[in-house]
Amino acid sequence: MSTDTALLILGGGCAGLSLAMQLAALGRDCPRTVIIEPRTEYANDRTWCFWGSAAAPLADLSCHQWSTMMVRAGRRITFVDCAATPYRMIAAADFYAAALRAIAGNARITLAAGERVTAAPLKQDARWQVTTNRTSYAATTVIDTRPGPPAQQGGATLWQSFSGIEIDCDEAVFDPACVDLMDFSLADPDRIQFTYVLPLSAQRALIEVTVFDPMPLSAADLATSLEQAVDARVHGLPYQLRRSEQGILPMGSVPTGAPHDPTYVHAGLGNGGARPSSGYAFQRIQRWAGQCAARIAAGLPLQGHVADPFLLQAMDQLFLSVLQSQPASAPALFVALFGQRDGARVLRFLSDEGSPADYLGLIAALPARPFLQQIPATLQRVLRQRRAAAA
Ligand SMILES: Cc1cc2nc3c(=O)[nH]c(=O)nc-3n(C[C@H](O)[C@H](O)[C@H](O)COP(=O)(O)OP(=O)(O)OC[C@H]3O[C@@H](n4cnc5c(N)ncnc54)[C@H](O)[C@@H]3O)c2cc1C
């Protein structure tokens, strides 16, 4: 006998739980919902950062925020003032706890923890049949936020692979006022590599090594670079490891668009959740969750992540094409991008809030030649992607 429900959410990670929080706020108007999630316990497995004012979704969960950030390439250093939309950090533990509280507060939502979808969902008599390791469900609608296929070369224009550790150093070595967003000091000439440092106090920081490359890299691949990056910060001083985090995010070429069956929608990182040029996904997922819950409340068909406007897609793809074809130019490009007079421009662009005037300002700040060379191939690629998404 299968459990009958109105809505099944496959995956209780960032996207699944963000939607659950929005649905919980609907009170009695929330459809009967089951979230299927393999984990039985949520660990503090990551931090989410984004630029946002106090009014940004879930900004109240921020455990840290910074008003200044730095990008460094060789001797060129640029500081970005982001006081108007601080760079905020949410600890996964706080996000998961808030989501679990919201779910517990609405009896119409059930978290089926310790359950994993084990077979491809099937539609029979207008109901989706979903089998897990423990039981089976029948649902009118499904939102699938499970991760896509494993990262592999060709699956994205570039992969953003990163590995980091949060440490307590015995002495004060960090500047808690300034995030090192991209430090190319330890750059590898064959790939785009930088260090990212989130200083939580003068003695505590999350230090990550990030690589943008057509080939996805594991934490083991990045281990030596991470060791060097940490050494460069702590100068040989003793430190204690608090936790580690790693990930591989897609940058470009992720299919988005209208679902083939409006009763089965994909969402999350691998389904249009990640911004192609940055891999940032948290705020896009929050916006999607808010819109999706509003549609559910209004009785409208479900919606996955809406494809970005053509101009934004073209800008992202152009930038990625230049990075892909000329990786050695990346440090100088990022310094130029963040070093322009109106620093807020690039932050709006990265936060999906840029205007055409912002796009023009960004283009003007960058060297023309490599971008002009990539325009024909980029336009072809974007048009191909849009046709594929609309099919
Ligand atoms: C370490 C790390 C740090 C990041 N930092 C940032 C950041 O600072 N800013 C930003 O914007 N983005 C960041 N991201 C990117 C993005 O925001 C996250 O990856 C986010 O968690 C994506 O949400 P999601 O729901 O798509 O995937 P997840 O949160 O990974 O959720 C997917 C869920 O599916 C479940 N699942 C898997 N298999 C099954 C199955 N068979 N059946 C049912 N469920 C299943 C998983 O257990 C998981 O809970 C980061 C990513 C990582 C990995």
**113 and 143, same domain (yes or no):** yes
**51 and 127, same domain (yes or no):** yes
Within a domain: residue 332?
yes
Can you give the pLDDT at residue 190? 82
Ligand 1 centroid to Cα of residue 387, in Å, is: 27
Within a domain: residue 179?
yes
Structure tokens belonging to residue 377: 């191939």
Establish whether residue 37 lines the binding site of ligand 1, counting it when its CB lies within 6 angstroms of any ligand atom.
Answer: yes
Of the three residues 231, 250, 269, the one that is the final residue of a domain is 250
Can you give the pLDDT at residue 288? 97
Establish whether residue 50 lines the binding site of ligand 1, counting it when its CB lies within 6 angstroms of any ligand atom.
Answer: yes
**129 and 265, same domain (yes or no):** yes
* pLDDT tens digit sequence for 169-200: 999 999 999 999 999 998 777 899 999 999 99
Within a domain: residue 82?
no
d(CA 210, CA 196): 7
Establish whether residue 39 lines the binding site of ligand 1, counting it when its CB lies within 6 angstroms of any ligand atom.
Answer: yes
Establish whether residue 206 lines the binding site of ligand 1, counting it when its CB lies within 6 angstroms of any ligand atom.
Answer: no
Can you give the pLDDT at residue 259? 53
* Residue 56's CATH number: 3.50.50.60
Can you give the pLDDT at residue 260? 79
Can you give the pLDDT at residue 131? 98
Can you give the pLDDT at residue 381? 77
Q: Which residues of the chain have pLDDT under 50?
A: 256-258
**13 and 115, same domain (yes or no):** yes
Can you give the pLDDT at residue 169? 98
**What DSSP character marks residue 306?**
P
**99 and 14, same domain (yes or no):** yes
Within a domain: residue 52?
yes
Can you give the pLDDT at residue 256? 47
State the residue range of the domain holding 207: 158-250
**19 and 117, same domain (yes or no):** yes
d(CA 176, CA 202): 5
Closest C-alpha among 374, 254, 383 to residue 325: 374
**162 and 205, same domain (yes or no):** yes
d(CA 387, CA 390): 5
**97 and 221, same domain (yes or no):** no
**16 and 128, same domain (yes or no):** yes
CA-closest residue to ligand 1 atom 28: 13
Structure tokens belonging to residue 122: 């099937």
Can you give the pLDDT at residue 382? 77
**264 and 228, same domain (yes or no):** no
- Counting from 1 in the atom list of ligand 1, the atom nearest the Cα of 15 is 25
Ligand 1 centroid to Cα of residue 87, in Å, is: 20
Can you give the pLDDT at residue 372? 79
**169 and 244, same domain (yes or no):** yes
Of the three residues 250, 270, 287, the one that is the final residue of a domain is 250
Within a domain: residue 75?
no
Can you give the pLDDT at residue 343? 84
- Counting from 1 in the atom list of ligand 1, the atom nearest the Cα of 245 is 1
* pLDDT tens digit sequence for 196-237: 999 999 999 999 999 999 999 999 999 999 999 999 999 999
**52 and 103, same domain (yes or no):** yes
Can you give the pLDDT at residue 340? 87
* Angle 121-390-252 from CA coordinates, rounded to 5°: 85
Please provide the average confidence, as pLDDT, over all residues in the chain. Answer: 93
Within a domain: residue 280?
yes
* Residue 171's CATH number: 3.30.70
- Counting from 1 in the atom list of ligand 1, the atom nearest the Cα of 16 is 25
* pLDDT tens digit sequence for 230-284: 999 999 999 999 999 999 999 986 554 445 789 999 999 988 899 999 999 999 9
Within a domain: residue 221?
yes
Establish whether residue 145 lines the binding site of ligand 1, counting it when its CB lies within 6 angstroms of any ligand atom.
Answer: yes
Total-model pTM: 0.95
Distances from the Cα of 57 to the Cαs of 42, 284, 369, in angstroms?
21, 10, 39
* Angle 67-290-320 from CA coordinates, rounded to 5°: 60
* Angle 93-97-102 from CA coordinates, rounded to 5°: 150
Q: Do residues 125 and 138 touch, judged by C-beta distance below 8 A?
A: no
Can you give the pLDDT at residue 255? 56
Q: Beta strands 136-144 and 127-131: pairing type?
A: antiparallel
Within a domain: residue 168?
yes
- Structural domain count of the chain: 3
Can you give the pLDDT at residue 258? 47
CA-closest residue to ligand 1 atom 6: 48
